[in-house]
């Protein structure tokens, strides 16, 4: 017995495969992005302030 598929039924499998590959890619990019965004700075960056005046020979820098 030889059953041949119609042209419409032939395209169902590649379309579903393509949709699944795109969905897998989107999920993986989301997971990798979330993991990489989680590696933020543990402590805040130092703030540099410049004071101009007569306290330290005119110009000095302050670290907080």
Per-residue confidence (pLDDT) for residue 59, from 0 to 100: 53
pTM of the model: 0.47
Q: What is the pLDDT of residue 4?
A: 66
C-alpha span between 34 and 27 (Å, rounded):
11
Q: Is 57 left (phi over 0), alpha (psi -120 to 50) or beta?
A: left
Q: What is the pLDDT of residues 9-36, one digit of tens each?
A: 666 688 899 999 999 999 999 999 988 8
Q: What percent of the chain has pLDDT over 90?
A: 27
pLDDT of residue 21: 95
The pLDDT score that the predictor gives to residue 6 is 62
């Amino acid at each position: 017995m030889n059953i041949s598929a119609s042209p419409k039924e032939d395209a169902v499998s590649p379309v579903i495969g393509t949709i699944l590959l795109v969905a897998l890619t989107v999920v993986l990019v989301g997971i990798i992005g979330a993991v990489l965004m989680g590696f933020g700075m543990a402590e805040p960056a130092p703030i540099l302030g410049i004071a101009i005046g007569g306290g330290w020979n005119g110009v000095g820098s302050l670290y907080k």
